[in-house]
Amino acid sequence: MKTKSLALLTALVLASQSPAQEYKAEVPDSIIVPDQVETRFGTLEYFDGLPTPDTAKLSYNALNFMRGMQVFMDGMPAASTYAMCHGLEEGAVVDPMKIGIFEDLYNARSLLLTPNTTTIYILNCTDLSEGPVVYDVPPGMLGFVNDAYMRYVTDIGNAGPDTGEGGKFLIVPPDYEGELPDDGYYIVEPPSYRNWFLLRAFYGEDGVGTAVDRVKETLRVYRWEDRDAPPDQEFVNLTDLQFNTIHANDFSFFEEMKAVVDSEAEGALPDELMGAMFSLGIRKGEPFEPDDELRLLLTEAVALGTAAAKSLNFAPRSRAPFYYDEGYWKTAFVGGNHEFQAGDVKILDARTLFHYYATGITPAMVAQKVGVGSQYALANRDSDGNYFDGSNTYSVTIPPNPPAQDYWSFVVYDTQTRSLLETDQKLAGVDSNQPTLEANEDGSYTVWFAPEAPEGKEGNWIQTMPGKSWSTVLRLYGPLEPWFDGSWRPGEIELMK
């Protein structure tokens, strides 16, 4: 060690004694790397700008950690679509030619990101690797198709090209070279093989069962090659089935992303994301076999990525997600754009906020169209800014004349899973169509959140669980102008002391 130090000192002395070069630039300090740099990751050491072996190793570990976080944050839309389709196929046995339907509405026995419990959910995932697929949709539906990166493909229903009249949607793979019809179909060409199809059916006084029967009599999915004689449609009742459609928060997230890469068409995912995965060994058709050191780094990366995603959702660092200058009602679409775009800027934190908490992208969710679609307000803190505690009692006042042409609802969600809070209440919420919901004398409504119903308030009560937190979503179906112009706003959720 002393010999090496002496040699280095001699070299430095000789360098200091060397004559000035004839050709010499005025080199700014900002482009010179010191021989030693202290960082939060450790000490970086160089000889004349050349990294030592320890510094190279440290920098590669930091790079892998950074890329791991990048894959988690930027890959979340793809992992969410994969988890949805994998959960349907493996957990509920809904293959691409079957249709899953919650015949008795959704409940907490299955895991979906922030579902509602007041409409009939209908789910399917396509596999276009074997050719185009047709969705024959009846009138009166509301839904959309998202691609493998959970990007918007098309709306279906009153916000779609069929304007609520129904019709045949032809979903065409990116590498299809066959002929396509000139008319009779709404043709869409997503960039991916996997696409997620979500429909909602609504029911009236004739009940859920009648609406379900209408769907099952008319909704069809079949391959384009079978268009002349579509096979009988098979439905799977998803109500009460236990299956998971939520992506992982641990190392297995990267295994989910590997499955996406292996199954998808070229160009289905963003180039930068593919590049980050490639650098970590996630490559199409090749085994993903990280060594122990890389596995540990990626495990830590996804842990910190999860903390960031949860913080963006539940502890925002600015007022950007909030609807109002004060209070705690938030939007899931920061910036008001379904592509999380603000001019030439991609709002990355907004994209992460949405995809960690919710699922399903359509411009109809942000379009300010009076009486069309739905609008959402999220809350996970009370009027004092504290997280909700399931042991406590809270209330919120909905002022008179809620701006919802169809109806409004509250649903409560588990802050761990972001799925329905597990309680003894099937719906985990209330909606304005329920005959048990009582208005106040002035036309307002008071909704209660508590482990047990306040006396005489059973019809306006949503159950919470001691020892757990919760979040809630206020939905307005058929939103009206007072919501958009801000002249009507919900009260804050208050702790009852």
The answer to whether the CB of 106 falls within 8 A of the CB of 199 is no
Which among 182, 216, 237 is the end of a domain? 237
Question: What is the pLDDT, as a whole number, of residue 14?
Answer: 47
Question: What is the pLDDT, as a whole number, of residue 19?
Answer: 62
Could you tell me if 36 and 148 lie in one domain?
no
Could you tell me if 363 and 405 lie in one domain?
yes
Could you tell me if 172 and 303 lie in one domain?
no
List pLDDT tens digits, range 83-94. Answer: 999 999 999 999
Residue 5 lies in a domain: no
What is 326-383 written as a DSSP string?
A: SSS-B-SSTTS-TT-EETTEE-HHHHHHHHHH-----GGGT---TTSSEEEEEE-B-T
Residue 175 is given by DSSP the state T
- Least Cα distance to 328 among 337, 316, 340 occurs for 316
Could you tell me if 189 and 338 lie in one domain?
no
> pLDDT means per 10 residues in the chain (497 residues)?
48 52 91 96 96 98 98 98 97 96 96 94 96 96 96 94 96 95 97 97 91 97 97 98 98 98 97 98 97 98 98 96 97 94 95 97 89 91 98 98 95 98 95 94 97 96 98 95 96 96
Could you tell me if 166 and 284 lie in one domain?
no
Residue 476 lies in a domain: yes
**What's the alpha-carbon Rg for the chain, to the nearest Å?**
27
Both tokens assigned to 51? 């990294």
Question: What is the pLDDT, as a whole number, of residue 200?
Answer: 93
Residue 153 lies in a domain: yes
| Helix or strand holding residue 137 (H, E) | strand 133-137
CB atoms within 10 A of CB 322: 18
CATH code of 140's domain = 2.60.40.1610
The answer to whether the CB of 496 falls within 8 A of the CB of 422 is no
Which among 214, 237, 260 is the end of a domain? 237
Could you tell me if 256 and 183 lie in one domain?
no
The answer to whether the CB of 479 falls within 8 A of the CB of 415 is no
Question: What is the pLDDT, as a whole number, of residue 183?
Answer: 95
- Look up the pTM and report it: 0.92
CATH code of 265's domain = 1.10.3360.10
Residue 269 lies in a domain: yes
The answer to whether the CB of 440 falls within 8 A of the CB of 455 is no
Give the structural domain span for 26: 21-92+245-308
Q: How far is CA 16 from CA 4, 13, 24, 32, 215, in A?
A: 19, 5, 15, 17, 85
Both tokens assigned to 250? 């641990």
Both tokens assigned to 174? 């990116």
SS3 387: strand
Which among 237, 264, 293 is the end of a domain? 237
Strand order in the sheet with 220-223: 186-188, 167-171, 133-137, 220-223
Residue 15 lies in a domain: no
Residue 7 lies in a domain: no
The answer to whether the CB of 122 falls within 8 A of the CB of 219 is yes
Q: What is the identity of the amino acid at 133?
A: V
Residue 102 lies in a domain: yes
**Please, what's the b/e burial string for 100-137 (b: 16 or more CB within 10 A of its CB; e: otherwise)?**
bbbbebbbbebbbbbbbbbbbbbbbbbbbeeebbbbbb
Could you tell me if 469 and 389 lie in one domain?
yes
Both tokens assigned to 275? 């590049």
What is 400-436 written as a DSSP string?
A: SS-SEEEEEEEEEE-TTTSSB--SS-SSSEEETT-TT
Could you tell me if 81 and 107 lie in one domain?
no
Tokens 């579509």 — which residue?
230
The answer to whether the CB of 237 falls within 8 A of the CB of 165 is no
Domain tally, the chain:
3
Could you tell me if 220 and 132 lie in one domain?
yes
- Least Cα distance to 107 among 420, 364, 447, 317 occurs for 420
The answer to whether the CB of 484 falls within 8 A of the CB of 405 is no
Could you tell me if 196 and 81 lie in one domain?
no
Both tokens assigned to 448? 């209660």
Could you tell me if 277 and 388 lie in one domain?
no
Backbone phi and psi for residue 236, each to the nearest 5 degrees, phi listed first: -120, 125
The answer to whether the CB of 483 falls within 8 A of the CB of 372 is no
CATH code of 473's domain = 2.60.120.600
Could you tell me if 419 and 480 lie in one domain?
yes
The answer to whether the CB of 52 falls within 8 A of the CB of 45 is yes
Question: What is the pLDDT, as a whole number, of residue 479?
Answer: 93
Residue 8 lies in a domain: no
